Amino acid sequence: MDDIELLVAETFKHFQENYQKEEASAAKPDSGLVHPGLPTEPRVLYHIQKSTSVFVIRTLVSRNIREDYLKIIEAPEDYPSLRLVEGQEEEIENRLRFFVVENEYQAEVIHDQLNNRRFPINEEMMCNISDPGFSWWMTQKEGMLQVAFNLSSFLDEGTTKLGPLGDRELAVKNFMQFGSLLMKSGLPLSIQNEANRVVFEEEERLLVQDIQDIFEVGVV
């Protein structure tokens, strides 16, 4: 399993844990059934296309995931932006995924940020300070966890590639707010924000481990 396959596997982990295997795919369109495992709330439908050197994310905003999922499975050619009909042996039901969001506005933001974006699989082999890449990177040290929003910040032993988790400018803003909330809470965890990275420090390392779990496996 290479880095991107691991990243995709971890991304899908929440889906596999919360839905039984038989609920993960919709009922066949000609069965006349509306599958109970699919919600009716807004979601982001997506398809990840992978080649030797890059992967591309194709997204579609859905206001009713159950309805749109079944429509796409029945006629994928009507949704060319998802590129589901381009000669792949794997079943469409296994390639069409969805991501849970709170409302359609969040779905629109994700679609705007990620749709049709191309990401290099081994960006550490080609990126530099002038082109630092899209991925975030996490480094564990004694009593400390460091997350960098691009490759130019550091690359040390114990560094894990997290993948393109989000916009770095928004990340800096959000972690500054998070640091402010931590100060008010009185929790024994300090957070240092810099231009391209954030550092979490704690003697007991209990909360640091919780934050590490969020980045590594998506568990809150």
Predicted local confidence at residue 25, as pLDDT:
42
CA–chain centroid gap for 138, Å, is 15
Q: Which of 148, 120, 146, 117 is nearest to 133 (CA)?
A: 120
Predicted local confidence at residue 61, as pLDDT:
93
Predicted local confidence at residue 28, as pLDDT:
42
Question: pLDDT 10s digit of each residue in the chain, 220 long?
Answer: 555 555 556 555 544 554 434 344 443 433 333 454 677 778 899 998 888 888 899 999 998 888 898 899 899 999 999 988 876 667 888 888 888 888 888 889 889 888 998 877 776 666 665 566 778 889 888 778 989 887 765 566 778 888 878 787 888 888 888 888 888 888 888 888 887 889 999 887 788 888 888 888 777 7
Query: Distance between CA 16 and CA 70 in Å, rounded?
Result: 19
Predicted local confidence at residue 161, as pLDDT:
84
